[in-house]
Amino acid sequence: MEKVKAKKQYGQNFLKDTTILDKIIQSMPTKNNYIVEIGPGLGDLTKNLVKYKDMTAYEVDTDLIRILESKFAIEIEEGRLKLIHTDVLEAWDKQKTLHDGRYDLIANLPYYIATNIILRAFEDSACENIIVMVQKEVAEKFTARVKEKEYSSLGIITELISIDSRILFDVPPESFDPPPKIMSSILFIKKDMDKVLDKDFNKFLKACFVQPRKKLSKNLTSVLSKEAISEIYKELNIDDNVRPHEVSSSLYSQMHTRVKDGRN
């Protein structure tokens, strides 16, 4: 096989451990959704996925596209694999969804944009299940629960938009070539298909967590007057001393509704 030098700027760490590749395939939802892969790389995960379902893969690197086109010539010819040469974030800017019709996102993500990709998948109403390799630390943020120290806007949004979210298993650096410096995890999120992410809510949460160790009421002064804060606290029965990570996602959602109502 052609020897390829991994490009750091594209977050290229190729997954070589066949046991881990098998475990990812086994954790795929049984439902017959179409598959979208982001960053097929040298195609090791793609090869396993395309055996089961038709799929589309988005890859930004021209050199890899060339290799993939020759490796998967038959699958492309038969229409089982659609290979799209683009930056996936630009694709989302242009077309809102990565596939017309319900799909599952299964990928070993480029870590430099992993959080962004997952948030874009939350906004994509066609995406149902997300099974992605990310930095362990990022996976912990998406699955953190109230009062845990990692609980922040990512955990809150995930709780509100999903019906299931879990870390499936961890993956050590030596499973990759080249090995990354950090531990990785496979993150699973099953979205609630009746919910869509409100961009304004994300902005509101960022303000709530701007100084995560301070009192929430202090952080809220950037978006609300002191009078409005004490009115909302009274109405929702929130303790004046709470810190941002001690408030449940449903309370954040109710707070945001009141903030929006106040603006209208």
**Residue 155 binding ligand SAM, by CB under 6 A:** no
239 carries a ligand binding annotation: no
Up-side HSE of residue 218: CA atoms within 13 Å toward CB? Answer: 11
Residue with tokens 């902005």, as numbered in its chain? 203
77 carries a ligand binding annotation: no
Phi-psi label, residue 237: left if phi above 0, alpha if psi -120 to 50, beta otherwise? left
13 carries a ligand binding annotation: yes
87 carries a ligand binding annotation: yes
| CB nearer ligand SAM, residue 113 or residue 168 | 113
**Residue 220 binding ligand SAM, by CB under 6 A:** no
The answer to whether 167 and 144 are in contact (CB under 8 A) is: no
Shortest distance, position 186 Cβ to ligand SAM, whole Å: 11
Binders of ligand SAM among residues 17 to 56 (CB under 6 A) are 38-42, 44-45
- The amino acid at 20: I
And the tokens for 110? 């480029």
**Residue 15 binding ligand SAM, by CB under 6 A:** yes
Cα–Cα dist 145/158, whole Å: 10
39 carries a ligand binding annotation: yes
Shortest distance, position 150 Cβ to ligand SAM, whole Å: 23
And the tokens for 217? 């009421």
The strand pair at 176-177 and 14-15 is best described as antiparallel
Which of these ranges, 10-18, 25-33, 47-55, 191-199, lies near ligand SAM under the rule CB under 6 A? 10-18
Percent helix, percent strand, percent coil in the chain, to nearest 5: 45, 20, 35
Output the known binding site: 13, 15, 39, 59, 87, 108
Q: Which residues bind to ligand SAM, rule: CB under 6 A?
A: 10-15, 38-42, 44-45, 58-61, 64, 87-89, 108, 110, 113
